[in-house]
């Protein structure tokens, strides 16, 4: 299996970064070398051909992946992304991060991730539906409520989860709502799931401000990325008095040191589908957003955004990683040396998988909770995880990323120790 995973040039690819973090955490915890060796390799890798008939009548073949990293603590859990840059190394890295993330918030899952190499912005809704149903059918041999439960990720949404649910259910002859999470509420989805990742980001940002002796209501915030997580983060932070001074999406970025009118921006994007041409701030580049004057920076886009090149110029006091792996190891080293407090992705964005767990439980029981109950349970879990990571950070005198890795890796390693090795 390792032969089909490739180390990237310079060792700065997402899989290289995750393996390096694992090695450091395992060494610090003095984990049994045999367990460490097992954790470095995903349990299953499935590569599938996804042929569909395009609207033109021609057949086009896409490539899809589903990687299951670990089942030590329970069934696998992880999103599905549709993006032109999806590749096996990225999906494997994200599956490993999901394993640690689930363990950090102490929910009974292992990590998985899936993706299809495609550009949904260049596809019709009918092509996306055919792609989704064929991909779901191909990976159905390894997914299921007690095996692996997919969820939305980049460029996927509740509608796509509904199609996966329907495809899986039709092949079994009865409805199986617990096969996916992040699905529409009318199909058994959970209230609060759509904004759960952002709400988790808000909870840990609030906790971090308190830990650092700051007030969120008097802090300036820059948010890179304005998809589901970025837009909801901006709205929730704005509603709680935080001043959002810069935001960006694929069409560009804007900056307003006096604070951006977030409700007005959300209304603009609802009508225009992009941030471009919004008049509420000065147009800047994505590079300038990462380096702008702000107290808190929230990268909520793709991997590898904060690097050795731009880390020396970042002015934020706190970085809360809403995206997966937005900081390279070289960039992270510089941020630590400069005393910038980084809340790592496996803690910061764990709100989504936590409420996915709530949704899975509700779907299995067919007993549903109020949004207030969901949000209160989420706050309790995120606060507990934050407290436990801080405790490890102070005990071992390490940065918060390593402390979170140690908490997650340690829990998975403990489960592996008690399960043993079969046969």
Active site positions, annotated: 113
Q: How far is CA 273 from the centre of its chain?
A: 22
CB atoms within 10 A of CB 411: 18
User: β-pairing, 44-53 with 59-68?
Assistant: antiparallel
Alpha carbon distance 163, 173 (integer Å): 15
Q: DSSP code of 316? A: -
Quickly list DSSP for 165-229. HHHHHHHHTS--GGG-SS--GGGTPPTT-TTHHHHHHHHHHHHHHHHTT--GGG-EEEEE--SHH
Alpha carbon distance 115, 110 (integer Å): 17
Token code pair at residue 210:
């308190």
CB within 8 Å of 91: residues ≥ 6 apart: 65, 66, 67, 113, 114, 115
Alpha carbon distance 423, 421 (integer Å): 6
Strand partners, 220: 243
User: β-pairing, 59-68 with 282-284?
Assistant: unpaired
Alpha carbon distance 295, 286 (integer Å): 17
Question: Residues 50, 55, 59, 60: is their CA dihedral positive or negative?
Answer: negative
Alpha carbon distance 364, 307 (integer Å): 42
Identify which of 421, 403, 400, 235 has the alpha carbon closest to the alpha carbon of residue 319. 400
């Amino acid at each position: 299996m390792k032969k089909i995973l490739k180390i990237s040039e310079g060792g700065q690819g997402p899989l290289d970064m995750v393996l390096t973090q694992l090695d450091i955490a395992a060494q610090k915890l003095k984990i049994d070398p045999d367990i460490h060796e097992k954790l470095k390799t995903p349990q299953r890798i499935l590569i599938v051909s996804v042929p569909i008939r395009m609207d033109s009548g021609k057949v086009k073949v896409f490539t899809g992946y589903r990687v299951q990293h670990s089942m030590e603590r329970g069934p696998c859990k992880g999103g599905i992304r549709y993006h032109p840059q999806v590749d096996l190394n990225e999906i494997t890295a994200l599956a490993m991060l999901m394993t640690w993330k689930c363990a950090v918030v102490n929910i009974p899952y292992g990590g998985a991730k899936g993706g299809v190499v495609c550009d949904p912005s260049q596809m019709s809704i009918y092509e996306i539906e055919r792609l989704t149903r064929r991909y779901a059918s191909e990976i159905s041999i390894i997914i299921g409520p007690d095996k692996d439960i997919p969820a939305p990720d980049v460029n996927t949404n509740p509608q796509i989860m509904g199609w996966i649910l329907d495809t899986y259910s039709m092949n079994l002859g009865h409805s199986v709502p617990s096969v996916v999470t992040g699905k529409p509420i009318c199909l058994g989805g959970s209230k609060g799931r759509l904004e759960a990742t952002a709400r988790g980001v808000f909870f840990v940002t609030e906790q971090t401000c308190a830990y650092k002796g700051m007030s969120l209501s008097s802090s300036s915030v820059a948010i890179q990325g304005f998809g589901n997580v970025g837009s909801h983060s901006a709205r929730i932070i704005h509603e709680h008095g935080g001043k959002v001074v810069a935001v960006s999406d694929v069409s560009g970025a804007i900056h307003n040191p006096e604070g951006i009118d977030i409700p007005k921006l959300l209304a603009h994007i609802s009508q225009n589908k992009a941030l471009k041409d919004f008049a509420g701030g000065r147009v800047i580049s994505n590079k300038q957003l990462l380096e702008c004057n702000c107290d808190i920076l929230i990268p909520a886009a793709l991997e590898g955004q904060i690097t050795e090149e731009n880390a020396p110029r970042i002015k934020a006091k706190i970085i809360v990683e809403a995206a997966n792996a937005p900081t390279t190891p070289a960039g992270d080293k510089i941020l630590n040396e400069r005393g910038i407090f980084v809340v790592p992705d496996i803690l910061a964005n764990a709100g989504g998988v936590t409420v996915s767990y709530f949704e899975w439980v509700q779907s299995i029981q067919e007993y549903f909770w109020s949004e207030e109950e969901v949000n209160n349970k989420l706050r309790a879990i995120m606060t507990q995880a934050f407290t436990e990571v801080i405790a490890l950070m102070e005990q071992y005198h390490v940065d918060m990323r390593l402390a979170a890795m140690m908490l997650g890796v340690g829990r998975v390693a403990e489960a592996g120790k008690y399960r043993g090795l079969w046969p």
